[in-house]
Every structure is written in structure tokens, then in C-alpha cells.
């Protein structure tokens, strides 16, 4: 009998021990016990197998977040396949690019989204197979779409059902204007999850928030850590996640014990959630990641949520979480700067190097490099990007170059200082400003485009787009540009401000002069 892929073994072991425990709580589409989750995912896996999905296949997910989505991703993993999640409400052309790039064999998609699939694929490329009965029982009309494509020959292919088997590919913003795929194996995911188990000691009675969308890397902890321990995932929909008062009430009434989100969500709860009106004594752990948490905002939150332990979890999508920092009482009472990103975890190793990849002395600034079991091996189908992203030392060890500049404090903790390039973190999502520029250039009336990120007086990070029209007499409309960007970019990448110029300034080498542009905003 073949050994189960590691992430599937988490479910198979828990269903034997805790069959009646609620695995997924979903107030809209219905909750699932461990037995139900296992049975429904097996039924759907059989359907996928009937349509050619097997070990090594890639299956896209174009579904809104629900208990059914959890069933779907486990059914894919049970086939030995990898799942590729997308933003269900995101631009159709972006999702279609992702599915093309990783050569999906099939897609699980909501029927009402099929018209958007048609925008990115010719009718001859795919076939609508059938409505999925197991998910129909949860009130969702999901169909299987299959594709007749040939897998690209790449170094990402691995032996079936090994621990190196690909589990999922998460697409992040790319500097060339196209998203890039970050593939993780069962092994790299488990390297992170095993560390989480040791550090946080979850129990079968714990209740985990599932706030992050499934195409965001925070979801890996949200989904798999509770299932590893017989605990419960509480689905937080996109709609609920945007309503601070209702979200705050949900956290309290659901008696969540583990919370994980970006700092911006926690700040929103502090400002508008009326946290003083609810009982949050059930909270044991609060994790934040994805962006810097201003220390005053963290201190304000701790005034309302006094009981839980706070952890800053750091790591690019390529590494899972690779460093962590447990917030101390001194941080809450005395600290003036954001908390460090802490020390290495997940069994990984770290270096801090200069521009020549020479290790810097403690306390000096340098780029953070990570190596270890939680790190991806290469970008999907992009050897050039992979070559740029890794440094191989004299011993042959491969190190991922995070692009983040850090130093170490007197306690040996890593302190984050900023980005090496033009990548930013917006609402916890990684954003390449070059990708936004690429979309702006696609507008028929835009001649030149430049995108800059800056902080306003309140400390909020804003994305500023500066544009020049092809026809000076035909002024660009801010409203129309907003609409255009919303059609082609995720919401968190749509510029906050637009400025129209007759011509963008240039450097002596005829490149756009970003320094001058910064002085114009």
C-alpha cells in the first residue's frame, strides 16, 4: 500500500482519532466533522480521478472561500496532485494566466464564474465535465473543467507520492508584470507545520481563525495546523473580514483561541471593532505576519486583548515562516520601534550578507538569506527568476535571497529594516510595483506610467500612479483609470492616488526618473 502524502496523512490520522470533532466551521455553507470532510474529499477525489487527475497533476481552484473549498483542496491532494488557488473575485485575465502558466489539467470552478473562464480560454481548449455532487450537498454549484494540454518539461517534476511531491503553487506579484509561481512540496510545508506544533502546542479543543484567502501563504497555517491536531478551522469569508464590528463579534462569540492575520486587519479591529464590548478571554495566541506592525498599534491592541501571547511570524511565500518573535511585556510597555522579526525557525538557517554575498558582522545591515527544509526549490517554470533568487555558496548550499534588509540587535534577533528592491507589502500582500506599471501600460490612452509607494502622514502605505497620455489634449480620467485597474489587478494593487503629467521626467540615460517623481507627489 502506498504511503499517503504528508499533508493528507494529517487528515487521515485525525479522522481516526477525532471523527466527530468539527473540522471546519462555516456559518454560511455548513460545518463539517472530520469524518464528513474525509468522506466528501474522497468522493470528490474519485470524481477527479475519473477525469484524469493523478499524481503529478495540477488542479486550479476558482472558488469563493468556504468549507467546500477545504473539501476541494483535500480532494486534489488525495489524488497526489497539486492545487493552484486563485482569487475568485480577481481579474479574469490574471487567473487565466496563472492556470496557463502552471499547465492545469483541470479546474474546480463555481458555475457562475464560467463566463469569466471563457474570457481567458478558447472553447476548444477546455471541456465542462459535470456538476460535483459532493459539493452540491453544501449548497455550491461547482463544476469540473478539464484541459487538453501537455505538461512542460521542468525540473519541478518529482516522483509520485514522495515527500517531495508538489502540494500547491501560490502565485505572487512579479516584477516583469506577470505573477510568478511559488511551488511548495508536502515536505516543505510539513517542515513549517512541525515547527508550529512544537512551538504553539495546539489541542483538539482549539479554534483557529481562517482569515487569509487560500491563495495567500498565511492560509497554510490556518488550514493544516488545526487539522494536524484535531482542532477546528473557522472560515471567515471575504465579506465578514471587511466588516470590523461583525468580525470582532464573530471572534468573541466563536470563542476563537488562535488568531492569524496581517497587522492591518488587527489595526482595523482595534479602531472600528468596538473590542471593549466583547469577551475575548478564549484567545490564547495572536499571530501577525505579512507587513510591519507599527508598535503603537500593537500596544493599542494589547490593551483590549490582554490574555493571548503575541507572535510576529516572518517569511516570504518562498520560505513559509522562517523567523519568529514572541512579543514580551517590555515590548508592550516600553518599546518605541516595531518588534523584531526574531530568530530562525522551521529548522532553517540564515545568513546576513552584503552585496557581494559576504557575511556581515553582527549589528551591521545586510540582506537576509534563508536555507532549509521550508524553502521552495525553484520558481515554477521560470529558471531565470530562480537563478536570480538563489545564491549557492562554496559548499553547494542553496540560499534564498529574501530581498529584505535586516540587522541583528543585542539579543541576536533579526530586525527588519526594509526592501532591497521595489517590492512592497500592501495589506499583507506582496506587491511588485512593476506589475502595476505593466497593467497601466496596457491602457490604450497611456503613454508612460510610473508607480511609487509612499507613506502618508498617518503612516499608511499608499500606491501612487503617475501617468502621461498619448494625446496631451485627451486628459486621462482618474475614475476610468481606477475602473481599468480594478478589472486587471487585485484590489490591493489598485493605486490609491493618480497624478497626470504631460510627460514623465527622465534621467540622463533616458530612463524614468523616479527620484524626481517622488518630489512631485
Check which CATH number belongs to the domain holding 48 and give it: 3.40.50.12780
Task: Give one word for 401, left, alpha or beta, with left for phi > 0 and alpha for psi -120 to 50.
Answer: beta
Q: Are residues 309 and 441 in the same domain?
A: no
Q: Are residues 111 and 251 in the same domain?
A: yes
Partners of residue 452 on adjacent β-strands:
464
Q: Are residues 303 and 450 in the same domain?
A: no
Query: Which of 319, 341, 372 is a domain's end point?
Result: 319
Alpha-helical segments (H) within 51-172 = 67-78, 92-101, 114-120, 133-136
Whole-model pTM: value is 0.86
**CATH number (domain holding residue 501):** 3.30.300.30
Tell me, what's the pLDDT at 23?
A: 98
Higher pLDDT, 322 or 429: 322
Mean pLDDT of the chain: 91
Task: Note whether residue 374 is domain-resident.
Answer: no
Task: Note whether residue 357 is domain-resident.
Answer: no
The yes-or-no verdict on residue 152 having pLDDT over 50 is: no
Query: Which of 275, 296, 319 is a domain's end point?
Result: 319
Instruction: State the total domains in the chain.
Output: 2
Tell me, what's the pLDDT at 343?
A: 98
Residues 18-37: tens digit of each pLDDT: 999 999 999 988 899 999 99
Task: Note whether residue 481 is domain-resident.
Answer: yes
Task: Note whether residue 378 is domain-resident.
Answer: no
Task: Note whether residue 352 is domain-resident.
Answer: no
| Residue 93: partners with Cβ closer than 8 Å, 6 or more residues away | 119, 120, 488
What is the phi/psi pair of residue 221, to 5°?
A: -65, -45
Q: Are residues 165 and 308 in the same domain?
A: yes
Tell me, what's the pLDDT at 161?
A: 54
Task: Note whether residue 168 is domain-resident.
Answer: yes
Closest CA to 210 of 259, 248, 163: 259
| Residue 489: partners with Cβ closer than 8 Å, 6 or more residues away | 91, 94, 435, 436, 439
CA distances, 241 to each of 65, 114, 307, 360 (Å): 12, 26, 23, 42
Q: Are residues 313 and 440 in the same domain?
A: no
Residues 205-216: tens digit of each pLDDT: 999 999 999 999
What is the phi/psi pair of residue 373, to 5°?
A: -70, -25
Partners of residue 180 on adjacent β-strands:
172
CA gap 216, 361 in Å, rounded: 34
Tell me, what's the pLDDT at 508?
A: 43
CA gap 214, 87 in Å, rounded: 8
Tell me, what's the pLDDT at 507?
A: 64
Mean pLDDT of 360-365: 93
The share of the chain scoring above pLDDT 90, in percent, equals 71
Task: Note whether residue 500 is domain-resident.
Answer: yes
Tell me, what's the pLDDT at 135?
A: 80
Its domain, for residue 458, covers 431-520
Tell me, what's the pLDDT at 294?
A: 85
Residues 439-470: tens digit of each pLDDT: 898 898 988 889 999 887 777 889 999 998 98
Tell me, what's the pLDDT at 153?
A: 39
CA gap 424, 458 in Å, rounded: 18
Residues 52-67: tens digit of each pLDDT: 999 999 999 999 999 9
Task: Note whether residue 360 is domain-resident.
Answer: no
Residues 399-424: tens digit of each pLDDT: 999 999 999 999 999 999 888 877 78
Mean pLDDT of 317-333: 97
Residues 48-102: tens digit of each pLDDT: 999 999 999 999 999 999 999 999 999 999 999 999 999 998 889 999 999 999 9
CA gap 515, 521 in Å, rounded: 11
CA gap 136, 113 in Å, rounded: 16
Tell me, what's the pLDDT at 156?
A: 46
Query: Which of 319, 353, 371 is a domain's end point?
Result: 319
Mean pLDDT of 481-495: 93
| Residue 317: partners with Cβ closer than 8 Å, 6 or more residues away | 170, 172, 182, 217, 430
The yes-or-no verdict on residue 296 having pLDDT over 90 is: no
CA gap 201, 447 in Å, rounded: 55
Q: Are residues 312 and 452 in the same domain?
A: no
Amino acid at each position: 500500500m502506498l504511503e499517503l502524502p504528508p499533508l493528507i496523512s494529517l487528515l487521515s490520522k485525525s479522522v481516526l482519532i477525532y471523527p466527530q470533532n468539527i473540522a471546519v466551521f462555516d456559518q454560511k455553507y455548513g460545518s463539517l466533522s472530520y469524518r464528513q470532510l474525509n468522506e466528501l474529499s474522497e468522493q470528490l477525489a474519485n470524481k477527479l480521478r475519473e477525469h484524469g487527475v493523478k499524481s503529478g497533476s495540477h488542479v486550479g481552484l476558482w472558488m469563493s472561500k468556504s468549507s467546500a473549498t477545504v473539501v476541494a483542496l483535500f480532494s486534489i491532494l488525495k489524488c497526489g496532485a497539486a492545487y493552484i488557488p486563485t482569487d475568485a473575485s480577481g481579474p479574469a485575465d490574471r487567473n487565466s494566466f496563472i492556470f496557463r502558466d502552471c499547465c492545469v489539467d483541470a479546474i474546480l470552478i463555481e458555475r457562475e464564474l464560467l463566463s469569466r473562464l471563457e474570457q481567458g480560454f478558447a472553447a476548444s481548449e477546455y471541456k465542462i465535465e459535470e456538476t460535483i455532487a459532493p459539493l452540491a450537498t453544501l449548497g455550491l454549484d461547482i463544476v469540473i473543467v478539464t484541459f487538453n494540454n501537455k505538461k512542460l518539461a521542468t525540473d519541478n517534476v518529482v516522483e509520485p507520492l514522495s515527500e517531495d511531491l508538489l502540494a500547491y503553487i501560490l502565485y505572487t506579484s512579479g516584477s516583469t508584470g506577470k505573477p510568478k509561481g511559488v511551488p511548495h512540496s508536502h515536505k516543505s510545508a510539513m517542515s513549517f507545520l512541525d515547527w508550529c506544533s512544537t512551538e504553539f502546542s495546539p489541542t483538539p479543543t482549539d479554534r483557529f481563525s481562517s482569515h487569509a484567502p487560500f491563495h495567500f501563504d498565511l492560509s497554510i497555517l490556518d488550514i493544516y495546523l488545526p487539522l494536524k491536531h484535531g482542532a477546528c478551522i473557522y472560515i471567515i469569508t471575504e465579506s465578514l473580514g471587511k466588516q470590523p464590528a461583525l468580525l470582532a463579534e464573530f471572534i468573541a462569540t466563536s470563542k476563537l483561541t488562535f488568531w492569524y492575520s496581517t497587522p492591518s486587519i488587527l489595526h482595523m479591529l482595534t479602531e472600528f471593532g468596538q473590542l471593549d464590548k466583547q469577551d475575548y478571554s478564549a484567545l490564547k495566541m495572536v499571530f501577525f505576519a505579512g507587513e510591519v506592525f507599527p508598535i503603537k498599534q500593537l500596544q493599542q491592541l494589547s490593551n483590549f486583548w490582554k490574555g493571548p501571547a503575541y507572535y510576529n511570524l516572518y517569511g516570504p511565500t518562498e520560505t513559509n515562516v522562517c523567523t519568529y518573535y514572541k512579543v514580551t511585556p517590555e515590548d508592550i510597555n516600553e518599546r518605541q520601534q516595531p518588534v523584531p522579526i526574531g530568530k530562525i525557525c522551521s529548522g532553517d538557517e540564515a545568513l546576513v550578507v552584503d552585496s557581494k554575498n559576504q557575511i556581515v558582522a553582527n549589528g551591521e545591515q545586510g540582506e537576509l538569506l534563508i536555507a532549509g527544509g521550508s524553502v521552495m526549490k525553484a520558481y515554477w517554470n521560470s529558471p531565470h527568476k530562480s537563478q536570480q533568487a538563489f545564491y549557492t555558496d562554496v559548499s553547494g548550499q542553496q540560499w534564498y535571497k529574501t530581498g529584505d534588509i535586516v540587522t541583528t540587535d543585542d539579543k541576536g534577533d533579526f530586525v527588519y529594516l526594509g526592501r532591497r528592491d521595489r517590492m512592497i507589502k500592501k495589506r499583507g500582500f506582496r506587491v511588485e510595483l512593476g506589475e502595476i506599471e505593466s497593467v497601466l501600460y496596457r491602457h490604450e490612452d497611456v503613454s508612460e506610467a510610473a508607480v511609487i509607494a509612499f507613506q502618508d502622514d498617518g503612516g499608511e502605505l499608499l500606491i501612487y500612479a503617475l501617468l502621461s497620455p498619448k494625446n496631451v489634449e485627451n486628459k486621462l480620467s482618474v475614475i476610468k483609470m481606477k475602473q481599468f485597474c480594478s478589472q486587471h489587478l487585485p484590489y490591493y494593487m489598485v493605486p490609491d492616488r493618480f497624478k497626470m503629467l504631460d510627460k514623465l521626467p527622465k534621467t540622463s540615460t533616458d530612463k524614468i526618473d523616479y527620484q524626481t517623481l517622488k518630489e512631485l507627489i
